[in-house]
Structure 1
Amino acid sequence: MDPDSNLPPANMRIIVLWSGTISTLEIPVATRIIEVKLLIWEALHVPVPADRQELSWEGQFLKDELTLQNYHIPPNASLTVFNKIEVKIYLEYSRFHFVYVVYDGTTVGELKAKLHADQGIDIEHKVLRMNGSDLDDRALLWAARVTEGTKLHLVEYQSRR
């Protein structure tokens, strides 16, 4: 019997999901998450620098200083890459605004809830509006085309008759 047969593999393949694209990487199991992000940027040419990436595995966001081993991520696991973006939320079309850095996989409703939790802003019966269009609370920011530097306005919801 081979004494090395019980050792975990030194390398593993992971599946990287980003903006509808699926790629694979072969990497050492002991790779730190920040190094995985660098490989995603450099080897897979994902146009999101490592410091703007947020990696998720099974709904858990991964900390840069830990390794794939620390999270017990198995071979062929899927990691999702989210892009951190900065958005400005203006209140009722005023000059007063809040700046948030969130990932593009956040929903519009989660962003509103964050505004409420952090600032105590009443969000009931209000929508986030971008370029004159109301955003659906269930929509992911990337799907709603909210990108770096987007200006959003928190306004009273007005039903269309």
Structure 2
Amino acid sequence: MTAQPATPTVSSATGPTTGRPAPVADWITIPELYTDPFPSFERLRAEGGVHWVPAIGRYLITSYDAVHDTELDQETFSANEQGSLMIRAMGHSMLRKDDPEHHIERRAWQPALKPSAIKRTWHAMFERTARRCLADFQAKGPGADLVWDFAAPYAAESLRAVTGLHNVTSADLQR
């Protein structure tokens, strides 16, 4: 587990940078995030959009405005995380790059995910997946959870299909 410095120090391609302090949400536990994260997310949003969460060794960003602001501040909130498990496991993909390197790779795949391309290419697959996930959700009955029993499998299966990860299951992606 990584402890947060006095001010957020986030690694970037050019080295560590320091920004303003982020509140520490040391009251969050991993079991409660698995059980029901929404009360924690509500509290985090009420207290401000960016928090350091020691239990997971990560910042949680919980509001649209905070996501927008951190996305524009790549110096403080760099995607180029040093020591990233993702980089070690998959190589330095665009998910762990900032602009301008990220923009170069994004330009290559962006046309395939424009609304017209999605409608033409992916709409039928998304609809089939939604119908299958909805049937599974309904079969679980009154105790079914909308997020865990419908939304998460739907998102994972859609991601699996779009990315071509046919050698994994949607459960693998959800984990």
Q: TM range, normalised to the smaller chain?
A: under 0.3
TM-score (norm 1): 0.26
TM-score (norm 2): 0.24
